[in-house]
Amino acid sequence: MKLDHLDLAIIAIYLAGITLFGLRFRKKQRTLRDYFLADRTIPWWAIALSIVAAETSTLTIISIPGLAYDTDMGFLQVVFGYLVARIIICIIFIPSYFRGEMYTAYQLIERRFGPHLRSLAAGLFLITRAAAEGVRVFAVSIVVAIAIGTGEIASIAIITLLTLIYTFEGGMAAVIWTDVIQMIIYIGGTMVGFVTLLHLVPGGWTTIHATAAAAGKLRIFDFTPTFSKTYTFWAGLIGGTFLTTASHGTDQLMVQRLLSAKNKVQSQTALLTSGIFILVQFALFLLVGVGLFVFYRHFPPATPFTRSDRIFPTFIVRDMPRGISGLLIAAILAAAMSNLSAALNSLSSSSIVDFYLRRRPQTPENRRLALSRASTFIWALVLFGLAILSQHGGRVVEVGLSIASVAYGAMLGIFLLGLLTKRANERGAMIGMACGFAVELWIWLGTKVPWTWYVVIGTTVTFTIGYIASTLSEGHGFSRAAAKRDSLRL
């Protein structure tokens, strides 16, 4: 079960083309601001598309249809929370990020609390982002191995190397503009795939709708008042709101895009616009899963699927017409490379800005740029290794979201302490963060609480304990670093 020469040629043209396109931005990288923020010259609409592309990985494209295949369209309840979170971030977070010259989200933590908490927050980001990204990179190998027949390690190496080339050379400008191209490719490819699916199922949409409705696959809302189910309206709306407020408001991977906008208003416009695309995109991926469910009712696979993540890639390679299979595989690789490039650039920026330059602020600009590229290369090796270790687990999208969610609660809690209170101090916030993270680890490893509640619980614990610890400790109010609120510069 492999693609034919036409499909392989389409994939090869895409991989070569996107790599060369990203390399076009190399000459524009002269300063750290150029490399990590694209000199703040990116228009809002490109940032909006880049935000969507960055939160869409191979996990999304192969695992969300598999989720709908196994269950229903209830995941959309989480997406509604994604929309609410964007409004919260525009009101609370973005105005703070545009007060002064910032390169990372964690500079805001130092400005409010102090350097120790900044290091702790940035370190937690590096560890959890790398772990979650390792799962995402592994998901690439599922697709490439099925389509081309290469082993999983070779598949991971191919995508990691090509993404590294243009991210290493072109920095944030290359990342964002390749994101735009890649989003157009994977959305367009998925739409072509869905239309093709309609033609392959006897009776088309009428049959798909009738069969799926009878099987309960089109159900979106579940108002059951329970804490144990992953996808209910309450878990989706509340959990999705907390998750996205953390991921888009405190995670360097997303904040870096918001900081690349020309000004605060364009950053807010980009984030709000991205929400519209996200809703449409997830609805499309879920409908693909519903269509696959009906297709395999009519044409059962010779061998039952061992995991739902393999259903969509297998369908693409085995049942799609020539040419369209190659287009869809290229679309999935586009999402993978987009997410990976975003991770490499954000991990590098936090490593250099939050750690190296704090200790050596007098480093000349040309050396800063060289070190940033070296850091990007090192992180590529780290993610390659972590992807190889991520070959076991359940549905990869849920594994990836679970890992990210474990740290998000503690992270969001300290940001809210800094932005919403005046009495919280660095010592109290660190105590709260440690407690919140410990609780999240226990929930993840020792309970059956659904991942949709991780961030809610972690944020509540961090904020509550952090505030209480601050009021009980000496030195209420802002830390010494807060006195420098408007003077922080690299």
Convert the pLDDT of each residue in 121-141 to its tens digit.
999 899 888 887 887 777 777
Taking 50 as the threshold, does the pLDDT of residue 449 lie above it? yes
Looking at the predicted structure, is the pLDDT value of residue 182 above 80?
yes
Degrees, nearest 5: CA angle 262-91-458? 115
Looking at residue 396, what is its pLDDT? Answer: 47
For tokens 């690299």, the residue is 490
Q: Provide the CA 313 distance to its chain's centre, in angstroms.
A: 21
Give CA separation, 395 vs 65, 246, 340, 400, in Å.
11, 22, 19, 9
Q: What is the domain class of 5-409 according to CATH?
A: mainly alpha
In Å, how far are 104, 365, 375, 482 from 361, measured between CA atoms?
15, 10, 17, 20
Which distant-in-sequence residues (6+ apart) come within 8 Å of 438 by Cβ?
Answer: none
Residue matched to tokens 């609805």:
283
Mean of the pLDDT values across residues 203-215? Answer: 95
pLDDT > 90: percent of the chain: 54
Q: How far apart are the first and last CA of the chain?
A: 53
Q: Is 176's pLDDT higher than 80?
A: yes
> pTM for this one?
0.87
Lookup: tokens for 88: 């919260």
Task: Write down how long the chain is.
Answer: 490
pLDDT of residue 484: 46
Would you say residue 424 has pLDDT above 90?
yes
Q: Tokens at residue 227, please? A: 């804490």
Confidence of residue 150 (pLDDT cuts 50, 70, 90): low
Residue 363 pLDDT class (50, 70, 90 cuts): very high
Q: How far apart are CA 253 and CA 259, in angstroms?
A: 11
% of the chain at pLDDT higher than 70: 91
Sign (positive/negative) of CA torsion 342, 273, 354, 465?
A: negative
Residue indicated by tokens 């070959």: 391
Contacts of 355 (CB under 8 A, 6+ apart): 119, 122
